[in-house]
């Protein structure tokens, strides 16, 4: 079975947005956003994902990636 990997770090680099700036725009703590950015979460609320997409002007598919595991 594969897994979903968050590619938030890549999108933040493309948009030249810091962790602090994105956390402020999304309305979550730096610690929680850092966990999302570093794939240390097992779930993300749709409302949080929507806020991240709005702040980064991207689609959810730009941040979420399915990776096949061997």
Q: Do 25 and 55 meet the contact criterion of CB atoms below 8 Å apart?
A: yes
At 18-64, the pLDDT tens digits run 999 999 999 999 999 999 999 999 999 999 999 999 999 999 999 99
Q: How many domains does the chain have?
A: 1
CATH number where 23 lies: 1.10.260.40
Structural domain that includes position 57: 3-67
pTM: 0.91
Q: Do 27 and 16 meet the contact criterion of CB atoms below 8 Å apart?
A: no
Q: Do 65 and 7 meet the contact criterion of CB atoms below 8 Å apart?
A: yes
CA distance 58 to 66: 17
| Beta-carbon contacts of residue 37 (< 8 Å; ≥ 6 apart) | 6, 8, 9, 12, 19
């Amino acid at each position: 079975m594969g897994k979903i990997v968050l590619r938030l770090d890549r999108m933040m680099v493309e948009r030249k947005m810091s962790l602090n700036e994105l956390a402020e725009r999304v309305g979550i703590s730096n610690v929680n956003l850092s966990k999302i950015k570093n794939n240390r979460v097992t779930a993300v609320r749709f409302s949080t994902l929507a806020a991240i997409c709005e702040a980064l002007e991207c689609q959810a598919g730009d941040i979420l990636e399915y990776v096949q595991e061997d």
